[in-house]
Every structure is written in structure tokens, then in C-alpha cells.
Amino acid sequence: MKCRSELARSYREQIPSHICPAVVASHRKPCANIAPLFILYVGCSMKLSMPRFNQAAVLVVGDVMLDRYWHGGTSRISPEAPVPVVKVEQIEDRPGGAANVALNIAALGAPASLVGVTGDDEAAESLANSLQGAGVRALFQRIAHQPTIVKLRVMSRHQQLLRIDFEEPFATDALALGDQVDALLDGIKVLVLSDYGKGALQNHQVLIQAAKARNIPVLADPKGKDFSVYRGASLLTPNLSEFETIVGGCADEHELVSKGAALMADLDLGALLVTRGEHGMTLLRPGHPAMHLPARAREVFDVTGAGDTVISTLAASIAAGEELPHAVALANLAAGIVVGKLGTAAISAPELRRAIQRSEGSERGVLGLEQLLLAIDDARAHNESIVFTNGCFDILHAGHVTYLEQASAQGDRLIVAVNDDASVSRLKGPGRPINSVDRRMAVLAGLGAVDWVISFSEGTPENLLAQVKPDVLVKGGDYSVDQVVGADIVSAYGGTVKVLGLVENSSTTAIVEKIRNNE
């Protein structure tokens, strides 16, 4: 029998050399029987960007429920039974089930509508108010004399002590729900079926065929032992346990891929995404290699609602025009965020944007324009102000360092725009720059005061300023504000222009001359 290190080594040898080694290392169960022709491992090789969610209209249909939390401290054991006594100090209501899916979609900035079934009671009102406040268009079929599904969790010190479910399966009027959905499909980009088996979804095929007749993709989060009700869906998103309930146990990924392909063919599915907890996700598509994404969670705190986050991010991303592999990668990032939160939670657009930045390595350092604009959007979503300065920075000296520290103090994030080599030569003459632009940017990026560094090729950074629109434009030297290049651009949209003094006896030109004289 091979030891673990030998298994890991033999496993890595089967992975093509261009695949990110961190992705290989993240896979927890190496298996010598995995056929590399069937499985594509995806991680840092896929470039991600933030979709434009604002036009991505999604309709969610399914089982809505109220997740209610009672929070309180525990300091003693009950004299009546060996259980802790919780003194309830806070009651919190959150949308759950299909309502949580719709809430997640709205939190990403996409227009979200929801059709579901509730009772005609206080819990239904709480759900409606929460969803309306989040911008979700919620249309409930209210059934009198039957309670809204409520899942009550008793919490103490961020730990769940007890869950109490109040639920009865709804005897839903399937035709009425179908007519309601059909009337809402115009203008919708994606239809989501969020099935928790509570009775809201009685006629899956009517909904699927109505959407397909309008060329609207249908994403289904399935439940139960009969997946035939989802026949013809564009994408099915079972977790591994749900998947294996239908197809049987899978000893390794080769078997998972094989059984998944058979299920797709049998049900005429467009694609199948199996979520696998700590082992990430596997995307299967007819005619494509299987795509495995490793789990992205830094710390798992609570898995409640993780499946809702996955399908909501998928739906919003596809509705925004993303290809399925990219949508899955974004959903994987979102799932990694939500399991680090307590209870049912939504992922906001700024949170997803920041996760994309981390995955793309653009939190700090040298960036291209697209990366920089993404980073700026995220910073502003977190109410951070942007400071901009520019220069050649050929030989970095104490004057530069002091100036950049002063510039950084003018706001939350400092961008340093650097003249490329050709523009430095035009400005400074033959023999300059001393250091190439990539080296100059690398040194600047290493300074604690600097957040982002970008180069530009024009004689002035005016084109860059027009796109970045910093809150503060900073320049060092003996200038008046109106002499600063780009001051008119920044002032026109209400930004601030500041001139900072220079440190005396600090000059790149003087350093170059001193070296030449010594030579």
C-alpha cells in the first residue's frame, strides 16, 4: 500500500503541468484511478471578473420559509432537566429557502422576483417585509388556516443549541402557481426552481417548458428521490448526497463523472453541477471534460444556506451573460464566503467583488486597467476614498517615499500612475529612464503607502484620470493647483486637487548627475 505522500505524488503526475499546483494540493482525496482525460482541474488559471448584474433579471419559484433566530446567553443548567437555560435577548428573522435565493440575487444587484406559497400569518408578513426591504418583488400564494414554514434556531454565543421546525407540506394550487409564473416570464433572463420538497412546486414540467418556450435557461436546486420531474432543465445543482441518492455511491471522481453523464443523458439536462462540500464542485456538460473546482472557504463556520448562495450566484451570473464555467467559478467563490458566516446569509456585490480581487491577486500591487477599475469599484463600495498621483519615479529616493506617505494620508487608497519608458525618454531625454517601467512599478508596489500601481504611455495621465475619477488628485512640487495636469478634469466632477511640498535635497536628476561625476 502506498503512503499518503506517494499517493499524492502519483496523483499530481496525472495532472497536466499547466494546472495551478495549489489546485492540485487542495484536493483532499487523491486517487490513482482518476483518468485525466475526463477531468479538468480549474483554479487560478481561470480569469474572473465582476458581472454586470443590474440588467440580470431572475425569477425564483419554490418553497419559501422563515428562518427565525433566538439569541441569548447561557449561564446555568435547568433544574427541570439537564439542558442549558437560554435567556432570549434578541429575535432575528431572515428569509429562508427560495426566499433566501431571491435575497442573494438582489444582494448582488440583480433584479429578483419570487413566487412562493405561505400561510396568511405573521411569519408571512415578516418574510414579505424583509424581501421588500431588500428590493425583491415577492408574490406569495397565501393559504389560510395553514402556517408559513418556520425554522426556529436557538443560539447562544454563536452556537446553535436547538432547531425547531414548524411546517406542514402545502396543498398548493399548481395551476394557479403556473399561471402566475407564466405571466411573469417576459423580460426574465433566468428561471430558478428552488425545491425543498415542501409542496410549492407541484408541476415542474409546466414551469420548465414555459421557460424553454421563451429560450429562458432553467436552473433547478433539486430535492427528493425522483429527478425526472426536472427533465429538460438547463442546469441541475444537487449536493453530493442528493446526487448519490439518485445514481448510487461514487467511489471516485471517475465514477461520479460517468454516472453524472448517464443522468444528464437520461433527463436531457443541459448541465449538472454537483456540490461536494470540502471537496469543492464538479461541473458536467455533455461533450465537455468534467470541471472540478476546489473548495474556496478559508474557514467553515456554518453551511446553512450555502446551496442557496450557489444557485443564486449562478443564476445572476448567467443572466448577466457569463459563460457557465465562469458562473460556476463565481458561485464557488460566493459559497466560500457564505460558509464563514453565521446562519442563513446573503452575499453582497462588494463581498463577491473583493473575493474576485483576491482570486485575481489585485488587492494590492501592479494592476492592468481592467483590474484597477474593478479594485476601485470595490473600494468605493466599502466607502473608501481614492487618491491619485503620477510621475516617473526613475530612481526611488527618500523624497519619493516621504511624498507618497503624505499622498496616502489624503484618503484610503493610493494609486500611483507611472510613465512608461518611452514617455520618460520624451520627458527626461536620452539615457532615461535608468530603470525599466516594470522594475520601477515593482519597487513602488513594495511600499506600504502604495495600494495600486499602473503605467501609462501618454505624456500626461489625463486619459487615465478620466477613467479612474479619483476623489483626490495629488502632485508634489512648486505648483499652484490650476497648474497641476488633470486638475480641470478632477475639479469638474467635484474632486479635490492638492499640491504637496517636496523634500529638499532629494532629486533623481541630482542622483544621476552625482553618479556621473563620480565616474
Active site residue ranges:
308
**C-alpha grid cell, residue 102:** 431571491
Distances (CA, A) of 58 to 82, 111, 186, 219, 398: 48, 6, 11, 10, 55
Contact 393, 416 (CB under 8 A): yes
Reduce the DSSP state of residue 79 to 3 states and report it. Answer: coil
Task: Work out the number of other CB atoms within 10 angstroms of the CB of residue 32.
Answer: 12
Task: Work out the number of other CB atoms within 10 angstroms of the CB of residue 260.
Answer: 26
- Which one, of 112, 46, 103, lies nearest residue 360 by Cα? 46
Report how far residue 208's alpha carbon sits from residue 407's, in angstroms, rounded to the nearest whole number: 57
- Which one, of 335, 352, 330, lies nearest residue 301 by Cα? 335
**Alpha helices (H) along 348-470:** 349-360, 369-381, 398-408, 421-428, 437-445, 462-468
How many angstroms from the chain centroid is the CA of residue 165?
Answer: 31
Contact 446, 422 (CB under 8 A): no
Q: How far apart are the first and last CA of the chain?
A: 68
Per this entry, what is the length of the chain?
519
- Which one, of 435, 294, 288, 449, lies nearest residue 364 by Cα? 449
